[in-house]
Amino acid sequence: MALPAALSVRRLDARHARTAVDGLAGVLLDCVEGGASVGFVDPFTRDDAIAFFESLLPEIEEGRRILLAAYDGETLVGTVQVVHAWQPNQPHRSDITKLLVHRAARGKGVGAQLMERAEAEAAASGKTLLVLDTVTSSSAHRLYRRLGWAEVGEIPNYALYPDGRPCGTTVFYKPLEGVA
């Protein structure tokens, strides 16, 4: 599986995230239009996707959320977020959320490279445990297994696909000792 020739993963601060909102929104919109259960239901518009990413800017600016973007050359093709736990008894933990890869860029290692960078960024932030959830039996589910994430279990009918059908969700975790 070859990576795109010019693939790079960049951490976006709030200023760079603001300038990348259109590209980020395009990836999110493509994923939702492709049926991904990533928190949104039909109808879902480009304006909805832009509003979602704009809503993250304060957390990025405050350092509570890390936003990563994968670029093939100068084209944004994927994104993932590391959200630091806010609870006082969980300073060691972060959640991985919204791993999104444009359908045209799938199968080329973009998701794996985003996840590896997310793990490294979390470890560099002093985190020792990551958690996430994903649609059971999805390509993301298989990716997390390949990357060494441990399955906690499945919750049936946990979320909805964009068209309103229910889907099961599997919860994963990964300790980060030695990742940074």
Mind listing the pLDDT tens digit for each residue in 20-54? 999 999 999 999 999 999 999 999 999 999 999 99
Q: b/e string for 21-44 if b means 16 or more Cβ within 10 A? A: bebbbbbbbbbbeeebbbebeeeb
CB 104 within 8 A of CB 118: no
The whole-number pLDDT of residue 6 equals 86
User: What are 79-122's pLDDT values in tens digits?
Assistant: 999 999 999 999 999 999 999 999 999 999 999 999 999 999 99
Q: b/e string for 121-142 if b means 16 or more Cβ within 10 A? A: bbbeeebeebbbbbbbebebbe
Q: In this structure, is residue 95 part of a structural domain? A: yes
Q: In this structure, is residue 152 part of a structural domain? A: no
Q: In this structure, is residue 164 part of a structural domain? A: no
The count of domains in the chain is 1
Q: In this structure, is residue 140 part of a structural domain? A: no
Q: Which of 65, 72, 77, 52 shows the shortest CA–CA distance to 14? A: 65
User: Which pLDDT band, with edges at 50, 70 and 90, does 178 fall under?
Assistant: low
Q: In this structure, is residue 85 part of a structural domain? A: yes
CB 4 within 8 A of CB 105: yes
Collapsing DSSP states into helix, strand and coil, what is residue 155? Answer: strand
Q: In this structure, is residue 94 part of a structural domain? A: yes
Tokens of 54: 């704009």
CB 84 within 8 A of CB 124: no
Instruction: Supply the pTM of this predicted model.
Output: 0.95
Q: What is the CATH number of the domain that holds 101?
A: 3.40.630.30
- The backbone torsions φ and ψ at residue 133, rounded to the nearest 5 degrees and listed phi first, read -135, 155
CB 82 within 8 A of CB 33: no
Q: In this structure, is residue 90 part of a structural domain? A: yes
User: 12 is in which domain, residue-wise?
Assistant: 7-126
Q: In this structure, is residue 119 part of a structural domain? A: yes
